[in-house]
Amino acid sequence: MSEDSNRTPAIEADRLCLTFDSNDGPVHALKDVDLTIEKGDFVSFIGPSGCGKTTLLRVIADLEQPTGGAISVNGKTPEEARLAGAYGYVFQAPALLAWRTIERNIGLPLEIMGISRAEQAERVKHTLDLVGLDGFGRKFPWQLSGGMQQRASIARALAFDAELLLMDEPFGALDEIVRDHLNEQLLQLWKKTGKTICFVTHSIPEAVYLSTRIVVMSPRPGRVTDIIESDLPAERPLDIRESKRFLEIAQRVRNGLREGHSYD
């Protein structure tokens, strides 16, 4: 990678707006969002439902078209970035194809992108190891627990080695014990791979635990109310969540969310 591309921010939004037309008049899903995400950051988007955090992620992924402002992904338009395979997307649900084994599910993007069979097999094996699912490749999705299915879907997003990982409440449907475990694993994965991760959540502890930066959003219109830099150490055992610094940051996020609500 050249020096120049290293200095390009992963994502840059400038007064980004997105308005949906509905029967009750226009809905401002995003209004004047300014945001810069550097390469290698772990950024969480947090806010109540309707604050536009998922919409913002979908705009980055070129799954929604903004109605105003500008956004760039790796210095390109979202569409160019998508066509270049710049990001892997993890949905709220595992979204695995029921008729494919875990291996073949992870190989799906590689097949579509026309990667050779030998390389497909190698990458599938590598990513299975990365998410701790080695030995489960031949299983069908329904034979795995919910947490394992979500790990498989993360492996699928990692399979084609995109620099950017977009995650839309990936652990929202899982119970707390599984969630803690996956949070730990995700942090390790992020350290190992050095990817840029955008992570949508509505859990304050999850956001504080994982992120280097926390983007607090509020609804009607969807906008960014606060951006918090976390100075927690890179090494984060689960019990860091009881530390004073952690609770301070969590308090600031909570205040940010509360301020957003007082607009109503």
Q: Dihedral angle at the C-alpha atoms of 44, 47, 52, 54, nearest 10 degrees?
A: 50
**Considering only residues 119-178, where is the footprint of other proteins by CB under 8 A?**
140, 142
C-alpha span between 127 and 115 (Å, rounded): 15
Tell me whether residue 167 or residue 208 sits nearer to other proteins (CB atom): 167
Output the smallest distance, CB 210 to other proteins, in A. Answer: 22
Distance of CA 195 to the CA centre of its chain: 11
Helix, strand, or coil (residue 95): coil
**Nearest residue to 204 (alpha-carbon basis) of 196, 212, 214:** 214
Tell me whether residue 155 or residue 228 sits nearer to other proteins (CB atom): 155
Residue 116 binds other proteins (CB under 8 A): no
Residue 66 binds other proteins (CB under 8 A): no
Residue 109 binds other proteins (CB under 8 A): yes
Write the CA distances from 53 to 132, 201, 203, 214, integer angstroms. Answer: 29, 8, 13, 12
C-alpha span between 53 and 50 (Å, rounded): 8
C-alpha span between 98 and 104 (Å, rounded): 11
The backbone torsions φ and ψ at residue 84, rounded to the nearest 5 degrees and listed phi first, read -85, 0
Helix, strand, or coil (residue 203): coil
Output the smallest distance, CB 156 to other proteins, in A. Answer: 9
Output the smallest distance, CB 81 to other proteins, in A. Answer: 10
Identified binder of other proteins from the candidate list 51, 61, 124, 257, rule CB under 8 A: 61
Going residue by residue from 67 to 106, which x/- string records binding to other proteins, judged by CB under 8 A? Answer: ---------------xx-x-xxx-xxx-x-xxxxx-----
Output the smallest distance, CB 61 to other proteins, in A. Answer: 6
Tell me whether residue 160 or residue 246 sits nearer to other proteins (CB atom): 160
C-alpha span between 154 and 157 (Å, rounded): 5
Output the smallest distance, CB 91 to other proteins, in A. Answer: 5
Count, residues near other proteins per rule CB under 8 A: 25
CA angle 202, 206, 208 (to 5 degrees): 105
Output the smallest distance, CB 63 to other proteins, in A. Answer: 5
Tell me whether residue 146 or residue 205 sits nearer to other proteins (CB atom): 146
- 115 contacts 159 by C-beta, under 8 angstroms: no
Tell me whether residue 98 or residue 177 sits nearer to other proteins (CB atom): 98
Residue 220 binds other proteins (CB under 8 A): no
Q: How long, in residues, is the chain? A: 264
Residue 112 binds other proteins (CB under 8 A): yes
Summarize as ranges the residues that interact with other proteins (CB under 8 A).
Answer: 61-63, 82-83, 85, 87-89, 91-93, 95, 97-101, 108-109, 111-113, 140, 142
